[in-house]
Every structure is written in structure tokens, then in C-alpha cells.
Amino acid sequence: MRPGERSGPPVEERPGPPRTAGYVALAEAATREPHRLRARSPVHGLARRRLDPLQVLAQSVSGAAPTAAMAATPAIVASLAGSATLWSFAVATVVALLVGSCVGQFTRRMAAAGSLYSLTAKGLGPTAAFTSGCALLVGYGALTMAALSGSANYLGILLARTGVGTGRTAPVFITLLLVLAAAATALLVLGIRLAARVMLLLEAVSITLMLAIFGTLLARHGLPDDLHALGLARPDLGATAAGVLPALAAFIGFEAAAALGVEARRPFRTVPRAVQWTAGASGLLLLLAASAQQLGLDQVPGGLAGQREPVETLATAQRLPWLSVLLEGGIALSFFAAALASATALVRVLFSMGREGIAPRALGAAHPRHRTPHLAIAVALPPLAAVPVALRLAGVDASRALPALLNTSAFGYLVAYLLICLAAPVFLHRIGELTVVPVLVTAVCAPVLMVVLGAFVTTRSGWALVAIGAVPAAGALWFGWLRLRRPRQLAGVGIYDETSAADLLHGPAAPRERG
Amino acid sequence: MSPPREPAALPGRQPRAVRNAFAVLEEVIAIGPGATAKEISHAIGLPSATTYRLLNLLVAEEYLVRLPGLGGFALGRRAARLCVPVAPRLPTAARAVLDHLREVIRWGVHLADLTTGRIVLTDPDPDHPPSEEALLARHPHASALGKLLLAEDTGAAGYDTDGLALPEPRRFTRHTITDRAGLTAELKEVSAGQLARSCGELRPDRGCLAVPVRHPATGALVAGLALSGPPARVAQPNRELIAVLREHADRLAPLLA
């Protein structure tokens, strides 16, 4: 500190010995290794603080893809839970809200790009964070593949209706999928604001379509005299529990806004809100969809549980064939938005791992103009498109590939959700801000997730079990290599947008950014 | 200074919550950077859950920041807006540069500090007094110095004027740019040309040209150097005049940084 500088705002030169004065110097003195105050954020290069709250919300809503879930999930849940279907959805909504509140304990305090991976690191340390990272790569990766397949499939069906091509053939599917993947790559590279705007538009259209469809169906059918038909009367515990797993799978992806901590404006407010609102709103939409389908299919043999495409059946029963077209359009849009959201989160996990040095450093590069992780995108997107194409070429069509991919991703998500729930109270204790409520939330939420995860694994068979075994094995090899060769980098995982000197009172003006 | 002890956790929407929020801010200043939530809660005698909620709120609003490690708090950049900015004292060498500029041209020459995100006149021309500082600071869209500041703020956000802490832009003369689209286009031009112009937008009889003074190493905006004169003269290309202005801004940069 030089006396002549006392009156003016202190300015820091390029990295080197600190030459700051006043408040920044005091703050610097208050930090210790390994948490020294740095001259710039470790995640520099991303488009910091650009997204408004609605765009952040769009990322989470797109990740959860409520539209596609509204069409498909109620029948799956009904086949397991029967008359307790609505209870299963209600329980799943509560679990999602509890997981969201655990995520919120972190996102209210730190702004990260690596989603639950970076957050878990601050609670449970490197090993758990690494597990969460692998689980998320599987979850986001498989969801992106599933969403691309789903979108291409429904677009193919729409095309077939208009008479262009025969819709369900492999060449049409593969062409559509590659076009969608190329569009997603372009949107992701060209800037997070652009991608977020597209997601917002797609979700707004597809949710409006869905509300219109279910509104029409309910209006046609009329409300029943006997509300027992809604399945609200007898909450059967066993049946409810059986339906919770598929109902919870309808929520996965709702935490996706946690990958936009760096890029959101006022992240400590917008990110936790986006996650919680998405959980709540998805829950309401799913309850609406489930009750509409249950009511409408009451008279149909087999009821809701017997249907593979319940909304189509309903539309036919009500003689409203145009509803099917709207439905297919809505689902195609929603799936594409989901592909964008999960790919956005995936590349930011890879970006964080690249910056930390536990994945190739190049993945941590950011495009100088678009300020997106362009190399991570270039590495991640081709395989995400190649797997569904290969599956189709091997003769696995979308109706079989989609459930397999969605199940794989659900497994990854459940592991990551369980870890973040366990991490939340530990994190709060570590920074000295533990209160009773977060402990209770984890005490309720973690056992439920463990049971669901256990049920998930034990009900798999054949190839699914091989896949579930292969991922941890590959992860363990990678982890072993890191322990041997990169112990320092492994210990330092969990980078986030740390407070740097420029963020402090009277800090040096932030270096100039060209946007 | 500690408020009366509160019996139970408070909902965050009562006058007490506002009082407590200020108490938390005061305590962060009193303890110094690195104050932990527990220390703050203990010092002001608030229940810990309430303190944590208020701290998270103040962090979300960016008055406070969490230091690396996440356990300690410090005042954030935005806290500077809670007090009146003081004009930094100008080094003698910088004053000499300004005096030289005032000798070679006959316009009013003003220097403003822009590091606080607000116009602070460090050296207004005594012979051609500029508009009131309060007026300039409050309506940055109408002055050349203000446009430099806005272009810097919005340039980082893709020239999105929606996010600006700017109330409805006020109209002063018929030349004042008050529509968002026009302002966005104007700011883009300012950023591209590194030159701001205001022709009779604040006062009909006055125009202004301003260039940024940037930190030599980081390129951060440090100050604005402005010339004021009749609007008709300001509207001309003024190539030579601007070259002289930029040359003096370059000479000021290492002295102010």
C-alpha cells in the first residue's frame, strides 16, 4: 500500500504480487490458501451475468420437458400404481421440491457452471463429486440422446401425416436427427442467450399446446359426479410407492438451471427460484395430465394403465383427430428443447472438468467472441448424435431406444440427486450455517431416493444391468488414473465463479470484455 | 447499535427485517471482510436462521459477497452505491495534462471519474462550468460522459438496455434519445467508435464530445475526458479535435490508473 493511493480507488495490475489498497487488501488478508482471493474468476471466459430470470427458468423447464412427460408418463405410472396414480405424482412432486431445496442451499451461495457436480464437491469432497460428475455425464448424455431421438421420431410422424416420405423409415429418422443435432450444436456455440431464448420459445409453445389439448379433453368429457374417479379417495401406500419411481423420472432435468450459475444475472436469486418453480410447475402439469387421462379413459377397456399412447386414444375416442397433430408437434418441440437444455448442462460439466484439469484441458476453453465452451460442445455433440443413429442402424427403433435411453439417464440423475441431498447439510456445516430444516429435508429425502434407486437397479435385467455396471467400472478406472497422476487437480475439483477482487467494494474495475 | 433481541425467527417482510438487514450490513463493516455468519449473528443477537436468510438476501442483491471458501462475507461493489462517491484527488501530473489541453483548444474541458459506475466530476472546467454533477449522474442517457458509462455497462450484456439501472429515460430537449431501441443503437455506436457525442440533448445550447480513459493494462474504463461547446460545432466530424482529445486521454491513462 502506498500512501498516495489512499484517496483513489485501488487498481490492480496484471497478475503478480498484489498491489492493492484499502478494502480489497483487507479482504485479501482475510483469505487463506487454498481459498485466496484471486484476480479473476476460475471460470472466466463464459458470458458472465447475462441471462435474465425467464431465460434461466427456460433452461430448467426445458430440462424437465414437462410436455413430453405429460403425454407419456401417466400411463406408465398407472400401470404400476393403478388408482393411486395421482398420489404417486403428488409424492414425486414433494420429493422433487425437497431435492430442489437441497440444490438451493448451494445455488443461493455459489454460482457454478458444473451443475450438481461442482456443488457436490463443496459438501462431500472430490470422490463424491467425481461420482456425481460421472452420473451427470451419463444422465445429461443419455437424456440428450433420448430427446434428439424423440424429437426426430415425432417430426417424422408429422412429416408422414403431410405425405412427405413415409415418416418412420430409418433414412428419414436419421436425416432429421442429424439436422436437429447440427441445429443444437450451432445454437449452443453461438451463445447462451440465443439458446436460452430458443428454449423459452419452444417451451412456451409446447406447454400452451398441451394445456389446450387437456383443456379440450376435460371440457368434452366434463367433470365426473363422483370424485373418487380421480383416485383421491384411498391412498394405497404400496401402490403409491410403486408409482413414485416412474413419476419421479418425469421430473429429471429440473435442476438444469444449476449449470447456468455463472451466466445468470443475479444468480443467487434466479437459479434457486428457477429450480423450485420448475419442480412445482411440472408437478402441477403432470397432476393435470394424469387426472385428465384417468378421467377420459375411465370407460375405455383397461383404463389408463392399458394404453401405450393414451392421448391418441383419447383424441380418437372424442373424435378430435386434430388433437393428435398438435400433440405430436408439442412433443417434438419439447424434446428438442430438452436436448438443448441437457446438452447445455452437459458441456458445462465438461467445461468445468477441463478447467480443473481432471479432463483434457482443452475442454475448458471458451470461445473468445461467443463466450461459450465451444471445444466441449465440439467433443460432446457428435457422439450424442451418433449413438441414436447407430441404434437405429442396428434396427432398434425409437419406441425401444427411447425407454432404454431415458432409463439410463434416470439412473444417472438419481445418483446425482442422492449425492446432492447428502451434501447439503455437510456443506452448510462446513461454512458454519447449518440450521435444523436442511437436516430434516435430507433426512426425509435421502432415504426415499435410496429406496427409489434400489428399486430401479433391482428391477433392471439383461443389458440394462450391464450398462449400469459398466459406467461405474469406467468411472473407477478414470478415478484411479486421476488419483495416481493428477492428485492435486482432483483435490481442487468444484470450481465456481468465485468472488474476485473486482467484485469487492472499491475493487479494481473489471477488465474490459467484448461481447 | 445492536437492536433489541428478537424472540423468534422473523418472516422477512416487516420493518424489523429492514432494520435487521442494515444491522447485518453494519456488522459486516465493523467486523471487517471475512466476517462469518456466526460472528454476525452473535454480534447483533439475531437468531441464526434469520441472520443466514438476511445474509443470503444481501448476497443475492450483491451488496455483500461471499469470499472464496464461502464462509466469510465482505462488502460487494454495489455497496458503493450506498454512499455519495467522493471525487478522487487528481495527481499533479494529470492536472498538467488537462491544463495543456485547455490551452490548446478553446472548448470547455472536463474530466470525470467513472470507476464507481456513476459520473463523478474530478476536474470540471472552471471557465466553462459543466451541468450540475447530480443532473449528469442521474440522467446518463442525455450526456456524452453518461453514454460512455452506459455503453460500457451494456456492452458486456450485449447492449441490453432492459437490464440497466436506468429509470424511464427523461426527455430534456427534442434531441434527447428516450426510446430503448434508439438508445441501444447509440450505445453500440459509442462502443464501436470509442467516442460519445451529445448534441443539445441535455441543454439545447450545449453539446459535448467524450472519449474514454482506459487502464493501460486491463483496458477497464477509468474516466471520461469531455469537451463541451455549441451543439452545431459538436455535430461536425471534428477529426483533428478528436485526435487531440484522444492523445490527451492516452497521456492521462497511466496517471489515473
Q: What percent of chain A has pLDDT over 90?
A: 58
Q: Which of chain B's residues have a Cβ under 8 Å away from the Cβ of A505? A: 74-77, 79-80
pLDDT greater than 50 at residue B2: no
Which residues fall within 8 angstroms of residue A204, CB to CB, at 6 or more apart? none
A433 and B52 within 8 Å at the Cβ level: the answer is: yes
Q: What is the mean pLDDT of residues B225-230?
A: 91
Between chain A and chain B, the number of residue pairs with CB atoms below 8 A apart is 143
| CB neighbour list of residue B53: distance below 8 Å, 6 or more residues apart | B12
Mean pLDDT within A269-297: 92
Distances (CA, A) of A262 to A83, A198, A372: 44, 19, 11
- Per DSSP, the three-state class of A9 is coil
Per-residue pLDDT, averaged over A225-236, amounts to: 58
Rounded mean pLDDT, A326-337:
92
Q: Is the pLDDT of residue B155 over 70?
A: no
Average pLDDT over residues A166-183: 87
Q: Which of B68, B163, B215 sits opposite A35 (nearest CB)?
A: B68
The residue among B153 and B63 whose pLDDT is bigger is B63
- pLDDT category at A447 given cuts 50, 70, 90 is very high
| pLDDT above 90: residue A160 | no
Of B243 and A297, which is predicted with more confidence?
Answer: B243
User: What's the pLDDT band for A219 if we cut at 50, 70, 90?
Assistant: confident
Give B14-33 pLDDT, tens digit per residue: 788 889 999 999 999 999 99
For residue A436, is pLDDT > 80? yes
pLDDT at A19: 41
End-to-end Cα, chain A, rounded Å: 34
Write the ipTM.
Answer: 0.86
Q: Find chain A residues with C-beta within 8 A of B90's C-beta.
A: none
Q: What does each C-alpha distance from A412 to A137, A184, A252, B73 come to in angstroms?
A: 8, 22, 10, 35
Q: Which of B77, B92, B194 to mutate to test the interface with A (most CBs of A within 10 A)?
A: B77
Question: Which of chain B's residues have a Cβ under 8 Å away from the Cβ of A430?
Answer: 71
Mean pLDDT of all residues belonging to chain B: 85
Closest-CA residue of A relative to B90 is A8
pLDDT of residue B9: 53
User: What pLDDT, on the 0 to 100 scale, is given for residue B137?
Assistant: 85
A184-200 mean pLDDT: 95
Task: Tell me if B77 and A507 make a contact (CB, 8 A cut-off).
Answer: yes
Q: What is the pLDDT of residues A49-108, one digit of tens each?
A: 889 999 999 999 999 999 989 988 898 898 888 888 899 999 999 999 999 999 999 999
Q: Is the pLDDT of residue A117 over 60?
A: yes
pLDDT bin (cut points 50, 70, 90) of residue B88 is confident
- Mean local confidence (pLDDT), B70-82: 89
Q: Looking at the partner chain, which of A268, A437, A498 has a beta carbon nearest the beta carbon of B68? A: A498
Residue of A nearest to B76 (CA): A504
Sorted by where each starts, the structural domains of chain B and their CATH numbers stand as 15-82 (1.10.10.10), 92-256 (3.30.450.40)
pLDDT band of residue A446 (cuts 50, 70, 90) is very high
**Whether the predicted pLDDT of A387 surpasses 80:** yes
CATH topology for the A40-500 domain: Amino acid/polyamine transporter I (1.20.1740)
Minimal CA separation from B8 to chain A, in Å: 14
pLDDT value at A285 more than 60: yes
First to last CA, chain B: 38
Number of other residues whose CB lies within 10 A of the CB of residue A321: 10
Residues of A within 8 A of B52 (CB-CB) are: 433, 435
Taking 80 as the threshold, does the pLDDT of residue A406 lie above it? yes
Q: Is B75 in Cβ contact with A509 (below 8 Å)?
A: no
Facing residue for B220 by CB, picked from A437, A504, A508? A508
